[in-house]
């Protein structure tokens, strides 16, 4: 059987695959099993932000010589180094990272952090947004998920676009009841065709969240690590969220990994009530690649911006120079 026939018989998918049997990837190209070259406009959908096969990052993947696996209850220096790096790269007072294996798990963890911290159970999100595939993530995603899956989380309210003054008024009406654990959105909504909300909406929601004791979760799984022209899309609005979700481009495609980061204050308050076990979260090999990827990203951001950013300045160790 050829690849297509094997795929059809054994591989679970939502729809029909493209007619490309991928052999290799290099720079901006995919090379198929017959050696034909395609420009890869998809780039893994917010994964290969630096292109494929970057020499420094590939070297980190190939030369990794650390432990096969580290149990979550042990200490592992590269975990702490990556967490420190994320604390410096992300906006505002975000400081404490939890390990995950990908975006859905990061979002799920963020919802749990908000529930543990606030003691509340309702959520507000943007109608038709996408935050992943778990029951929690689908509950805060498009309302029509409820037609496919009958028992999603209750009390998940959706704000219709456009995200303007009227939408802000609706957010306030919901938050005023003081039962909303978190408001969650992508700061630039990739999953609604790169929808850019009005800055007053984003800043207004931030203020309302603070006023009514609701956490602001920024889902930067797709927008993070340079996708929108700043390191994180929050920076376009000067937004300092309480929780920020990451995945996809954190390793540039070399390993499944995600992270959720929150403030020291929140992390301290939920200690003992929230913790991600995540067997394969931050696998040592993926961490080595993530560190190389983020150092490289720091170096080019510094080169292009001319003025080293706070995080780049601190973490240029081992960069391409
Ligand atoms: C904004 C956003 N959040 C969460 C996810 C889920 O990430 P993953 O596929 O790594 O579980 C995605 C995936 O496309 C996404 O775009």
- Quick: pLDDT tens for 209-267: 999 999 999 999 999 999 998 899 999 999 999 999 999 999 999 999 999 999 999 99
Q: The CATH number of the domain where 214 resides is what?
A: 3.40.640.10
pLDDT of residue 302: 76
Residue 11: domain span: 1-41
User: What phi and psi values does residue 243 have, to the nearest 5 degrees?
Assistant: -140, 140
Judged against a pLDDT cut of 60, whether residue 275 lies above it is answered with yes
- Crossing angle of helices 199-212 and 165-175, in 10° steps, is 10
Residue 166 lies in a domain: yes
- For the chain, state the CA radius of gyration: 20
CA of 107 to the centre of ligand 1 (A): 8
DSSP-assigned letter for residue 219: E
Determine if ligand 1 sits within 6 Å of the CB of residue 141: no
Residue 70 lies in a domain: yes
CA of 321 to the centre of ligand 1 (A): 32
**Residue 91 and residue 236 in one domain:** yes
- Tell the residue nearest (CA) to atom 9 of ligand 1: 103
Handedness of CA 110, 60, 78, 232 (dihedral sign): negative
Residue 183 lies in a domain: yes
pLDDT band at 320 (very low <50, low <70, confident <90, very high): very low
Rounded mean pLDDT, 51-60? 92
> Count of CB atoms within 10 A of residue 148's CB?
9
User: What phi and psi values does residue 263 have, to the nearest 5 degrees?
Assistant: -80, 160
- Supply 305's token pair: 């911006």
User: Which residue did the predictor score with more confidence, 317 or 167?
Assistant: 167
- How far is it, in rounded angstroms, from Cα 132 to Cα 206? 23
Residue 49 lies in a domain: no
Nearest to 114 by CA among 148, 153, 150: 153
Whole-number mean pLDDT of the chain? 93
pLDDT of residue 150: 82
Q: What is the pLDDT of residues 99-144, one digit of tens each?
A: 999 999 999 999 999 999 999 999 999 999 999 999 999 999 999 9
- How far is it, in rounded angstroms, from Cα 201 to Cα 168? 6
Residue 68 lies in a domain: yes
CA of 103 to the centre of ligand 1 (A): 5
Cα–chain center distance at 135: 17
Residue 319 lies in a domain: no
Residue 177 lies in a domain: yes
Residue 19 lies in a domain: yes
CA of 248 to the centre of ligand 1 (A): 8
DSSP class per residue in 80-93: HHHHHHHHHHSSTT
**Residue 156 and residue 34 in one domain:** no
**Residue 210 and residue 112 in one domain:** yes
**Residue 253 and residue 182 in one domain:** yes
**Residue 32 and residue 69 in one domain:** no
pLDDT of residue 199: 97
Rounded mean pLDDT, 186-212? 96
Determine if ligand 1 sits within 6 Å of the CB of residue 50: no
Number of structural domains (the chain) is 2
Out of 100, 107, 129, 132, give the residue to mutate to test ligand 1, the one with the largest number of ligand atoms within 8 Å of its CB.
132
**Residue 168 and residue 31 in one domain:** no
**Residue 16 and residue 120 in one domain:** no
DSSP-assigned letter for residue 52: B
pLDDT of residue 321: 38
Determine if ligand 1 sits within 6 Å of the CB of residue 221: yes
**Residue 72 and residue 168 in one domain:** yes
Is residue 282 classed exposed, middle or buried when 0-12, 13-18 and 19+ CB atoms within 10 A define those classes?
Answer: buried
Determine if ligand 1 sits within 6 Å of the CB of residue 220: no
pLDDT of residue 310: 57
Nearest to 284 by CA among 128, 47, 112, 72: 72
Rounded mean pLDDT, 198-205? 98
Largest CA distance in the chain: 61
**Residue 179 and residue 227 in one domain:** yes
∠ at Cα 107 (105, 112), nearest 5°?
95
Would you say 220 and 245 are in contact if contact means Cβ atoms under 8 Å apart?
A: yes
Helices (H), 2-76: 3-10, 43-46, 55-63
**Residue 5 and residue 144 in one domain:** no
Cα–chain center distance at 125: 16
- How far is it, in rounded angstroms, from Cα 137 to Cα 119? 19
**Residue 241 and residue 99 in one domain:** yes
Out of 134, 135, 232, 248, give the residue to mutate to test ligand 1, the one with the largest number of ligand atoms within 8 Å of its CB.
248
- Supply 18's token pair: 């493209």
Q: List the 258-263 sheet strands across, edge first.
A: 94-100, 258-263, 243-246, 215-219, 180-185, 122-126, 156-159
Determine if ligand 1 sits within 6 Å of the CB of residue 102: yes
**Residue 102 and residue 10 in one domain:** no
- Tell the residue nearest (CA) to atom 7 of ligand 1: 103
- How far is it, in rounded angstroms, from Cα 157 to Cα 121? 11
């Amino acid at each position: 059987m050829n690849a297509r026939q094997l795929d059809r018989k054994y591989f679970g998918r939502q729809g029909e695959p493209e007619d490309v049997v991928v052999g290799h990837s290099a720079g901006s190209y995919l090379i198929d099993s017959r050696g034909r070259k395609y420009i890869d406009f998809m780039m893994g959908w917010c994964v290969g932000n630096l292109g494929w096969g970057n020499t420094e990052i590939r070297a980190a993947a190939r030369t990794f010589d650390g432990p096969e696996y580290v149990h979550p209850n042990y200490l592992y220096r590269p975990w702490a180094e990556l967490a420190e790096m994320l604390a410096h790269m992300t906006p505002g007072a975000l400081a404490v990272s939890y390990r995950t294996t990908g975006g859905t798990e990061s979002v799920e963890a963020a919802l749990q952090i908000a529930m543990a911290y606030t003691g509340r159970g309702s959520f507000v999100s943007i109608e038709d947004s996408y935050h992943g595939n778990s029951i929690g993530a689908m509950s805060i995603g498009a309302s029509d998920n409820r037609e496919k899956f009958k028992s999603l989380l209750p009390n998940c309210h959706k704000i219709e676009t456009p995200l303007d003054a009227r939408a802000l008024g609706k957010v306030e009406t919901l938050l005023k009841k003081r039962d909303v654990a978190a408001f969650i959105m992508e700061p630039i909504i990739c999953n609604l065709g790169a929808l850019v909300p009005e800055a007053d909406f984003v800043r207004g929601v931030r203020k309302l969240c603070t006023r009514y004791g609701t956490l602001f979760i920024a889902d930067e799984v797709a927008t993070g690590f340079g996708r929108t022209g700043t390191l994180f899309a929050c920076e376009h609005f000067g937004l300092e969220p309480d929780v920020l979700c990451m995945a996809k481009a954190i390793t540039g495609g070399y390993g499944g990994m995600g992270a959720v980061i929150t403030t020291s204050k929140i992390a301290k308050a939920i200690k003992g009530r929230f913790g991600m076990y995540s067997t394969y979260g931050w696998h040592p090999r993926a961490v080595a690649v993530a560190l190389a990827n983020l150092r490289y990203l720091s170096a080019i951001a510094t080169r292009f911006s001319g003025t080293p950013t706070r995080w780049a300045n601190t973490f240029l160790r081992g960069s391409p120079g």
